[in-house]
Amino acid sequence: MVKDPEKENVYWPSENLKEKAWISDAKIYEKARRDPKAFWAEKAKETLDWFEEWEKIEEWNPPYFNWFIGSKTNLAYNCLDRHLEENRNKTALIWEPEPPEEQQRLLTYQDLYEQVSKFANALKDLGIKKGDPITFWMPMIPETAIAALACQRIGAWHSIVYTAFSPNAVKDRMEDAESRNLITADAFFRGGKTLKLKEKIDRVLEEIGAKNCIVVNRAKTDPPMKKGRDHFYNEIVSDEEPYCEPEPIGAEDISFLLYTSGTTGKPKGIKHSCGAYATQAALTTKWVFDLHPQDIFFSTADIGWITGHSYSLYGPLLNGGTVLWYEGSPYHPEPDRWWKIIDENKVNIFYTAPTAIRALRRKGDEWVEKHDLKSLRILGSVGEPIDPDTWGWFFEKVGGKRCPIVDTYWQTETGGIIITSIPGIGPFIPSVAGPAVPGIKYDVFDVTGKPTEPGTSGKVVLKHPFGPGMLRGVHKAPDKYKEEYWSEYGDEIYFTGDGGRKIDMEIGEQNLIEITGRIDDVLEVAGHRLGTAEIEDAISSLAEITEVAVVGKPHDVKGEVPAVFAVTKSDIDLERREEELKRKIVEIVRKKIGPVATPDATYFVSDVPKTESGKVIRRFLKSLLKDEKLGDVTTVSNPRCLKELAKKVNYKGPEKIVSFTT
């Protein structure tokens, strides 16, 4: 990287990097902006094979749109079949199991193709067909990639639930999707432990009347199996043919569902398309990570998140690349596992989250310094803003000041990256994500819907035509779709839910942007979205609690963690029961949502700040936790409670507690 001669903390790609990069001329931004639809159509043709071409590039009936109307393609075909002729024996997936003594598994494109076909045939034999939802509760093992691709092959919708979510969270998502089929594993390894899945989900399978549960015998723990309903993966694929005709998937079809948190209690089933989604995933993988055929791409994102879909699986395979999956914890057996994996496999592109970088940094520099890491060329960050300090460490200790850090901003809803600097163009500035990727238009609006000037914070929006990777609605909830994304500034502007600030610097005639984070009632825990409402819902189910508000509390490693403000029934003897109730709150959250949402702190209070209409104003709770200025308290109908709250959280902020009571 080359340091900008004038501007502090601004880096540009070296000549060497530019020469090698797919994209190194900023003119591409202008070209894409002149005719974004034509740009995406050109890229769709370049990056994918289509069974049938479109009659129309895009159609827009706010707030709905569709891309490549009349086309047909298949995601699995594009990830596998078309690479066989030239790359049959090339490694598609390197799988690193957690137990250090266990052998790595390498799957070539041919292996993956055959296994996907076999599993697709097995799914068909179980009666699963195009348009059927299938829920996954799967760890990072090769069968997860195979199963996802098999769903794509036959047009079934996968709905992948993160393994750190609880069985109840799986149940909610199965019910919402009307899914009666589950794919899971007996167990998997993480942090040296054997974490069971099948046994834990049995109750849910009974409750929802599941038709099929396919079990990968990953850890050979001899899980309970119910005859007729439960099938071992190995057994159902063993007699299948290694060929399965790929189902043509149309532009109007859905290729997968992925649940994400919104501002209301229930998670939203985000619907993604096939060919259009794949176009953005493929192009951004190639350009943003500058993925070349010989590169090894290690994305640490779990398949349970959109990053796992677009960049741990589909994006790299669409480009015929080699992707590396690691099953377990970065600390096992020691906190240099990722660095070791990078060296041993000569990883070139490494994509992770700021929370993980902070956590590894805390383990001490010696762990990373022990490793060469010279194979790395590109580093990526996602999930939350990366603070300058963490950026600096990542840049220096991991990237040896050689590698650009692409700070990629996007969402489950956008399907692919929408804002980031590109390796061959730059610039790379800590805490600044960059310009929009070619073909995407962003802006920052003030409350009235006017674009803000650089330096002024506002709300980050997207303008038509949105990227082809953009969501196609919220499953069975059209109102929620409108309300969450298309109501802030009318139905022609997509509101991301994030705040941001343009900076006074341009690339391709557009300002770079600094994303400041979510401004709605969603927490960002270790780079993942959790709905405050979903957590509050879980806690309110306790008989002792009458009112509860959950907000994000700053955390050194995870960025944010849930903090709970709870009001108990008046007859509860808190002095005696405080610890017990705190424990109960933690337990219920872990049970209903999962360990990811575990509250970090619980404060019992006699009231929480509310508006006249009774809506909890979480903003004040947040400011109190962050020792920030509270701002305008005139909208609070019960300002007295702020005094008690300030005391509880040991508020040291700029405002005097006494002023809250006036």
Of 515 and 564, which has the nearer Cβ to ligand WT7? 515
Cα angle value 188/559/614 (rounded, 5°): 105
How far CA 330 is from CA of 257, 325, 360, in Å, comes to 28, 12, 8
Nearer of residues 527 and 552 to ligand WT7, judged by Cβ: 527
As given in the structure block, the two tokens for residue 374 are 């010279």
Question: Which part of the chain contacts ligand WT7 (CB under 6 A), choosing from 42-50, 403-411, 470-478, 482-490?
Answer: 403-411
List binders of ligand WT7 among 562-601 (CB under 6 A). none
Tell whether residue 408 is a contact of ligand WT7 (CB under 6 A): yes
> Is there a contact between 418 and 412 (Cβ–Cβ < 8 Å)?
no
> For residues 184 and 138, is the Cβ–Cβ distance under 8 A?
yes
CB of 167 to ligand WT7, least distance (A): 21
Residue nearest to ligand WT7 (CB): 412
Question: How far is Cα 291 from Cα 299, in angstroms, rounded to an integer?
Answer: 13
Cβ proximity to ligand WT7: between 364 and 455 the closer is 455
Closest alpha carbon to 550 in 621, 636, 451: 621
- Backbone φ, ψ for residue 265 (5° rounding): -55, -45
List residues bridging with 22 in a β-sheet: none
Give residues with Cβ within 8 angstroms of 167, minimum separation 6.
Answer: 200, 201, 203, 204
Which residue lies nearer to ligand WT7 by CB, 260 or 312? 260
- Minimum CB separation of residue 255 from ligand WT7 in Å reads 17
In angstroms, give the least distance from the CB of 420 to ligand WT7.
7
Residue ranges in 293-312 that form contacts with ligand WT7 under rule CB under 6 A: 305-307
Which is nearer to ligand WT7, 58 or 413 (by Cβ)? Answer: 413
Instruction: Write out the two tokens for 603.
Output: 């404060």
Binding mask 104-133 for ligand WT7 (x = CB under 6 A): ------------------------------
Least spacing, CB of residue 387 vs ligand WT7, in Å: 11
Q: Rounded to an integer, what distance in angstroms lies between the CA atom of residue 418 and that of residue 415?
A: 9
Which one of the spans 147-155, 210-218, 288-296, 409-417 is the region binding ligand WT7 (CB under 6 A)? Answer: 409-417
Residues near ligand WT7 (CB under 6 A), total: 25
Q: What whole-number distance in Å separates Cα of residue 406 and Cα of residue 604?
A: 42
Under rule CB under 6 A, residue 437 binds ligand WT7 = no
Residue with tokens 């060919």: 275
Q: Does 560 bind ligand WT7 (CB under 6 A)?
A: no
Nearest CB to ligand WT7, comparing residues 135 and 411 = 411
Nearest CA to 286 out of 44, 47, 20 is that of 47
Toward ligand WT7, which CB reaches closer, 246 or 527? 527
* Closest approach of ligand WT7 to the CB of residue 407, in Å: 5
User: Which of 295, 560 has the CB closer to ligand WT7?
Assistant: 560
Spatial distance between the Cα atoms of 646 and 623, rounded to a whole number of angstroms: 10
φ and ψ of 468, to 5 deg = -65, -15
Whichever of 168 and 496 has its CB closer to ligand WT7, that residue is 496
Q: Which residue has the tokens 């730059």?
A: 426
Binding residue (CB under 6 A) for ligand WT7 from 135, 168, 319, 411? 411
Taking the C-alpha atoms of residue 357 and residue 343, their distance in angstroms, rounded to an integer, is: 17
> What phi and psi, each to the nearest 5 degrees, are found at residue 206?
-65, -50
Quote the CA–CA distance of 565 and 548 in Å, as a whole number. Answer: 6
Q: Which of 159, 412, 421, 602 binds ligand WT7 (CB under 6 A)?
A: 412
Residues 529-548 that bind ligand WT7 (CB under 6 A): 529
Which conformational region is residue 169 in: left (phi greater than 0), alpha (psi within -120 to 50 degrees), or beta? alpha
Q: Retrieve residue 316's tokens.
A: 């790299």
List binders of ligand WT7 among 55-74 (CB under 6 A).
none
What minimum distance in Å lies between the beta carbon of 439 and ligand WT7? Answer: 18
Q: Is 499 exposed, middle or buried (0-12, 13-18, 19+ CB in 10 A)?
A: middle
284 binds ligand WT7 (CB under 6 A): no
- Alpha-helical runs (H) found in 541-617: 574-592
| CB nearer to ligand WT7: pick between 72 and 529 | 529
Does 260 bind ligand WT7 (CB under 6 A)? Our answer is yes
Q: Which burial class, exposed, middle or buried, applies to 648 when counting CB atoms under 10 A from its CB (0-12, 13-18, 19+)?
A: middle
Q: Which is nearer to ligand WT7, 460 or 566 (CB)?
A: 460
- Chain residues 491-530 in contact with ligand WT7, contact rule CB under 6 A: 496-498, 515, 517-518, 524, 527-529
272 binding ligand WT7? (CB under 6 A):
no
Q: Which amino acid is at 422?
A: I
Choice from 98, 111, 114, 407 touching ligand WT7 (CB under 6 A): 407
Return the beta strands (E) in 519-644 as ranges. Answer: 522-525, 528-531, 545-555, 559-568, 601-604
Is residue 433 involved in binding ligand WT7 (CB under 6 A)?
A: yes
Q: Which stretch binds ligand WT7 (CB under 6 A): 45-53, 153-161, 406-414, 481-489?
A: 406-414
Strands 296-299 and 72-73: unpaired
**With respect to ligand WT7, which residue has the nearer C-beta, 47 or 307?**
307
**What residues numbered 307-346 form the site for ligand WT7, per CB under 6 A?**
307
Contact between 409 and ligand WT7 by CB under 6 A: the answer reads yes
Residue among 216 and 349 whose Cβ is closer to ligand WT7: 349
Site string for ligand WT7, 378-397 (x = CB under 6 A): ----xxxx------------
CB of 283 to ligand WT7, least distance (A): 16
Indicate whether 410 belongs to the interface with ligand WT7 (CB under 6 A). yes
Closest contact distance (angstroms) between CB of 627 and ligand WT7 is 22
Nearest alpha carbon to residue 113 among 93, 94, 132: 93
- Report the relative pairing of strands 378-382 and 349-352 from DSSP bridges: parallel
Of residues 72 and 528, the one with the C-beta less far from ligand WT7: 528
B/e letters for 531-550, b = 16+ CB within 10 Å, e = fewer, are bbbbbbbbbeebeebebbbb
Whole-angstrom distance, CA of residue 253 vs CA of residue 275: 9
Q: Which is nearer to ligand WT7, 303 or 545 (CB)?
A: 303
Residues near ligand WT7 (CB under 6 A): 260, 305-307, 382-385, 407-412, 433, 496-498, 515, 517-518, 524, 527-529
